[in-house]
């Protein structure tokens, strides 16, 4: 990952976002269709900037989303279609149509609208506990003359672990110079 690879959670205590420690983009073929899986893990939320909170005073944050102590309790984010369960990813195109030129500029919409049961979401997220992520928009832009892409990934989060099932929190991840996956023969 480059220093520029980051994920932002709008309104959380770190407006500068969090560095991405690990990212995997893989592909598979199912029923003659190409499917993509993505796996992202951030550094610890406070890895680049600690937020000091006095231990002897209670900080009155309007919500868990805005409270550094809550974020630090869960350490880091994992957003993945492969980390929990058997994976599955999302369909991209037929195998015969697949090429790097074909996916250049591709914007995939995933879980739009979200499934009724959050367990059926393509991507699962560990953020402030095991929460839910949906309304994904994932754009792949090829770096000219290479097999590498810049990826912009946005979506919404529901703090399901705390019992809030409304997708009301925004995230945006930006990844640069990511090698395209190989399709197995």
Segments making up each domain of the chain, as ranges: 6-179
Q: What is the pLDDT of residues 65-96, one digit of tens each?
A: 888 888 888 899 999 999 886 668 999 999 99
Q: What is the pLDDT of residues 97-148, one digit of tens each?
A: 999 999 999 999 999 999 999 999 999 999 999 999 999 999 999 999 999 9
To the question of pTM greater than 0.85 for the whole model, the response is yes
DSSP state of 180: P
Four-point Cα dihedral 109, 114, 120, 121, nearest 10: 50
Strands (E) located in 53-105: 78-80, 90-94
């Amino acid at each position: 990952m480059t220093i520029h690879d980051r994920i932002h959670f709008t309104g959380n205590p770190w407006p500068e976002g969090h560095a991405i420690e690990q990212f995997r983009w893989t592909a598979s073929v199912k029923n003659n269709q190409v499917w993509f899986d993505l796996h992202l893990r951030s550094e610890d939320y406070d890895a680049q900037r600690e937020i000091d909170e006095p231990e002897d005073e209670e900080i009155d944050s309007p919500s868990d989303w805005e409270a550094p102590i809550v974020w630090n309790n869960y350490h880091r984010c994992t957003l993945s279609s492969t980390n929990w369960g058997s994976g599955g990813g999302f369909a991209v195109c037929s195998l015969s149509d697949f090429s790097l030129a074909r996916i250049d500029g591709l914007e995939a919409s995933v879980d739009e609208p979200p499934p009724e049961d959050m367990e059926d979401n393509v991507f699962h997220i560990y953020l402030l506990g095991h929460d839910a992520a949906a309304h994904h928009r994932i754009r792949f832009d090829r770096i000219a003359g290479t097999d590498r892409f810049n990826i912009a990934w946005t979506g919404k989060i529901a703090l399901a672990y705390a019992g809030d099932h409304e997708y009301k929190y925004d995230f945006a991840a930006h990844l640069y110079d990511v090698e395209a996956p190989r399709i197995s023969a």
